[in-house]
């Protein structure tokens, strides 16, 4: 009953401005007109005769959310105050002081200033603690991510005064920072895995992604790259047009990338408009259960055209297209308007007939069914069987993209101890403390990342300190589990120290050495016969 009332409120608000026009339109069916009139009448009755006063604005927002939830899992409402924040990851920038930060013991800790950004220009450094903002104390329980965003972000050109605590000095350093537009990079890493194989980790499909990708590709080509690993694991998607442009980089002119179609949306075919910049080199695309939407467009096009080898686990299965509609108060509805289909005609959207909660419980069900560990636990009916466009390989629709080579979740180092160390934030706390205490000595001893990577090892004394910290944070230390997880624990510590000392790319350059999916990709790309065999060339 509550959702019905909310539904009536929402429908009236959304449609009241268009009701008269719809009544005059001969193309509108009478039942639709009568329904809208009925709803508007009901809204009038609630507004004038309901026993209690009602906050119509709140009811309307709740109604929108409830209605969209009944349609499909991906139609969404964004309130006016949240529109800008929701668009940030895809627009690729925000306005602020330009630091990567984390809240460390109730204090704002600068992990790193954005190179060339406002904070970098005035001399704020990694490891600095922001303890005052515009003269106000900026530490304690009030300091949350929302607090930081509200106080450090702001319009380009506005100023903020920061009190910085650096190292062990008791004296605060005062900085005046002029806010500016800060880029949000969508590529986390781009480097050579060996002398022939390049690697690009794409985090999302944002407005800036193609410029970033082209720069990364050019950099790797300059290093004599012959083969590429494109890592889309955990990439939840983004803009459709960016997915089309990225796919175009691997395909030749006039090849279908994807098409969209819906009951009220005409079929729209997206094709390559020219030869891409990487059409001939060997290609591996990595996907997993976190790869969705735009990631599935790219991987579907690559697979359907036999352009490259897909390695990993079955992708998320989101084949619905959302179109944004502005509402009168500045809020936005992202409404599903079409389904997208891969070049062979596969719709890889999985079923949501049992509702949104069941839909989003899919990953838990996949795990329980053993799909993360065994490929034979995945069953596709013959009705969803398709053939690739060049070699005629069998692929499937109806619930995500199935890779050409299945790689199970790596449980080699998985223990309760390792999970607890992550959950309790022990890795993060230890490595932040370590870099803050040893930043200068690390640079003095190793000079650059390459030297650090080659020579640094986590010492026994470091592990003793790590164990003490873990126990202080309530982690029950189990020696048997530690022996099993020790290689991964040490690898993570080294990688996080590198990230805090340099940048995120250095983290990937360390952890990927033990990544079995990466190792499989390199094996396939190195063995030309295996690569051709998979693609039936």
Q: Which residue numbers are catalytic?
A: 293, 304, 318
Residues in the chain: 537
Going from the C-alpha of 300 to that of each of 236, 287, 309, 375, 403, the distances in angstroms are 15, 11, 11, 19, 10
Q: How far is the C-alpha of 117 from the C-alpha of 97, rounded, in Å? A: 7
Q: How far is the C-alpha of 292 from the C-alpha of 287, rounded, in Å? A: 9
Provide the 10 A C-beta neighbour count for residue 272.
Answer: 22
Q: How far is the C-alpha of 220 from the C-alpha of 212, rounded, in Å? A: 12
Please name the residues in contact with 2: beta carbons below 8 A apart, sequence gap of 6 or more. none
Q: How far is the C-alpha of 375 from the C-alpha of 407, rounded, in Å? A: 8
Provide the 10 A C-beta neighbour count for residue 533.
Answer: 11
Contact assessment for residue 400 and residue 347, using Cβ atoms and an 8 Å cutoff: no
Which tokens hold the place of 392? 């005629």
SS3 (DSSP) at 503: coil
Rounded to 5°, the CA angle 322-183-279 comes to 65
Q: How far is the C-alpha of 286 from the C-alpha of 313, rounded, in Å? A: 8
256-262 and 309-312 as β-strands: parallel, antiparallel, unpaired? unpaired
- Per DSSP, the residues of 161-225 read EEEEE-TT--SPEEEEEE-EEEE--SEEEEEESSSSEEEEEE--B-TTHHHHHHHHHHHHHHTT-
Contact assessment for residue 151 and residue 133, using Cβ atoms and an 8 Å cutoff: yes
Q: How far is the C-alpha of 292 from the C-alpha of 401, rounded, in Å? A: 9
Sign of the alpha-carbon dihedral angle for 395, 400, 403, 407:
negative
Identify the H or E element spanning 268. strand 265-271
Contact assessment for residue 535 and residue 391, using Cβ atoms and an 8 Å cutoff: yes
Across 221-248, b (16+ Cβ under 10 Å) vs e yields eeeebebbbbbbbbbbbbbbebbbbbbb
């Amino acid at each position: 009953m509550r959702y019905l009332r909310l539904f009536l409120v929402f429908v009236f608000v959304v449609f009241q401005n268009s009701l008269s026009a719809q009544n005059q339109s001969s193309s509108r069916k009478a039942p639709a007109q009568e329904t809208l009139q009925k709803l508007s009448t009901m809204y009038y009755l609630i507004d004038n005769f309901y026993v209690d006063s009602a906050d119509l604005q709140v009811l309307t927002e709740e109604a929108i959310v409830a209605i969209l939830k009944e349609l499909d899992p991906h139609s969404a409402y964004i309130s006016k105050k949240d529109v800008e924040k929701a668009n940030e990851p895809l627009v690729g920038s925000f306005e602020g002081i330009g630091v990567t930060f984390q809240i460390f013991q109730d204090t704002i800790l600068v992990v790193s200033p954005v190179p060339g950004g406002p904070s970098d220009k005035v001399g704020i450094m990694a490891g600095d603690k922001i303890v005052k903002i515009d003269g106000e104390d900026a530490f304690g329980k009030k300091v949350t991510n929302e607090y930081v965003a509200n106080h450090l972000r702001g319009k380009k050109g506005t100023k903020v005064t920061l009190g910085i605590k650096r190292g062990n000095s008791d004296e605060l350093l005062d900085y005046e920072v002029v806010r500016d537009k800060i880029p949000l990079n969508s590529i986390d890493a781009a480097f050579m895995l060996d002398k022939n194989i390049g690697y690009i980790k794409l985090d999302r499909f944002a407005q800036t992604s193609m410029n970033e990708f082209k720069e990364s590709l050019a950099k790797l080509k300059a290093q004599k790259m012959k083969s590429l690993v494109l890592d889309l694991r955990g990439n939840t998607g983004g803009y459709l047009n960016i997915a089309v442009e990225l796919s175009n980089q691997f395909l030749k002119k006039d090849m279908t990338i994807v098409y969209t179609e819906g009951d009220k949306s005409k079929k729209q075919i997206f094709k390559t408009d020219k030869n891409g910049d990487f059409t001939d080199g060997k290609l591996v695309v990595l996907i997993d259960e976190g790869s969705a939407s735009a990631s599935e467009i790219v991987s579907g096009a690559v697979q359907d055209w036999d352009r490259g080898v897909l390695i990993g686990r079955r992708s998320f299965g989101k084949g619905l297209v959302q179109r944004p509609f502005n509402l009168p108060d500045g809020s936005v509805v992202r409404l599903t308007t079409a389904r997208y289909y891969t070049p062979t005609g596969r719709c890889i959207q999985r079923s949501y007939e049992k509702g949104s909660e069941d839909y989003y419980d899919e990953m838990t069900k996949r795990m329980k069914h053993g799909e993360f560990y065994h490929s034979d636990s995945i069953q596709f009916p013959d009705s969803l069987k398709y053939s690739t466009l060049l070699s005629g390989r069998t692929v499937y629709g109806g619930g995500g993209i199935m890779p050409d080579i299945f790689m199970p979740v790596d449980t080699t180092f998985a223990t309760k101890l390792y999970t607890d160390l992550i959950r309790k934030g022990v890795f993060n706390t230890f490595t932040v403390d370590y870099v803050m205490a040893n930043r200068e000595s690390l640079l003095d001893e190793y000079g650059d990342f390459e030297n650090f990577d080659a020579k640094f090892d986590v010492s026994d004394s470091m592990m003793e300190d790590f164990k003490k910290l873990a126990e202080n944070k309530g982690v029950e230390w189990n020696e048997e589990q530690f022996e099993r997880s020790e290689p991964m624990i040490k690898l993570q510590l080294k990688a996080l120290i590198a990230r805090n000392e340099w940048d995120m790319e250095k983290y990937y350059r360390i952890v990927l050495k033990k990544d079995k999916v990466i190792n499989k990709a390199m094996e396939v790309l190195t063995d030309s016969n295996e690569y051709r065999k998979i693609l039936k060339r």
